[in-house]
């Protein structure tokens, strides 16, 4: 399993039912203004590098995966009395309409589809789905700035919670 650059996870806070992380590290330095985004897309195919990661949050424990050290304080603040373990990371260059799937384990998957760029706002439109087997339990369209990692949370059948992180950058 690839290990994420933990410096890519910098600040965690709850916003509109999503947990938002301002990214640093490999996602840093990417222009996010609408003009810069439009200029960047003008000569390309609109493809983006999309990264999806899954973190298991287990209630009643204080365990912390060492690969999540840079966001330890923020994770503890967002979900006190939980332990955190990185499950999986997937990263792929996607064109509009293509998807990436992250295996969460126990028949759960998180799928993210690149829908398009919303150039006037500088945000990218994504469809995030969380499934168990062939049953989609969660599906939501998200608009996110380039170079900003966000998380959504789902509860598994055993009461454990999983945070699915999605980040997009130009490819």
3-state DSSP of 128-169: EEEEECCEEEEEEEEEEECCEEEEEEEECCCCCEEEEEEEEE
Nearest to 164 by CA among 58, 106, 76, 86: 86
pTM: 0.73
pLDDT for residue 9:
35
| DSSP 8-state secondary structure symbol assigned to residue 16 | T
pLDDT for residue 115:
94
User: Distance between CA 112 and CA 169 in Å, rounded?
Assistant: 14
User: Distance between CA 55 and CA 86 in Å, rounded?
Assistant: 4
The angle formed by the CA atoms of residues 5, 56 and 94, to the nearest 5 degrees, is 50
Domain residue extents for the chain: 6-170
Kindly give the confidence (pLDDT) of every residue in the chain, 171 residues in length, as a single tens digit, with 9 standing for 90 and above. Answer: 444 333 333 323 222 234 444 333 333 333 333 334 443 443 467 899 999 999 999 889 989 999 988 778 878 888 899 999 999 999 999 999 999 999 999 999 999 999 987 767 889 999 999 999 999 999 999 999 998 888 899 999 988 899 998 999 987
């Amino acid at each position: 399993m690839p290990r994420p650059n933990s410096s890519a996870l910098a600040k965690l806070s709850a916003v509109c039912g999503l947990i938002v992380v301002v990214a640093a590290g490999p996602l840093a330095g990417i222009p996010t203004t609408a003009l810069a985004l439009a200029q960047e897309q003008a000569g390309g195919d609109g493809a983006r590098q999309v990264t999806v990661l899954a973190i298991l949050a287990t209630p009643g424990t204080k365990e912390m995966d060492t690969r999540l050290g840079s966001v330890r304080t923020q994770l503890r603040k967002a979900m006190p009395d939980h332990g955190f373990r990185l499950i999986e990371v997937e990263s792929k260059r996607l064109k509009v309409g293509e998807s990436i799937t992250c295996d969460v384990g126990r028949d759960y998957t998180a799928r993210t589809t690149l829908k398009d760029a919303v150039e006037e706002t500088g945000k990218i439109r994504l469809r995030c789905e969380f499934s168990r087997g062939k049953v989609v339990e969660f599906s939501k369209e998200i608009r996110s700035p380039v170079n900003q990692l966000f998380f959504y949370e789902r509860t598994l059948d055993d009461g454990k919670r999983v945070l699915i992180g999605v980040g997009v950058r130009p490819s």
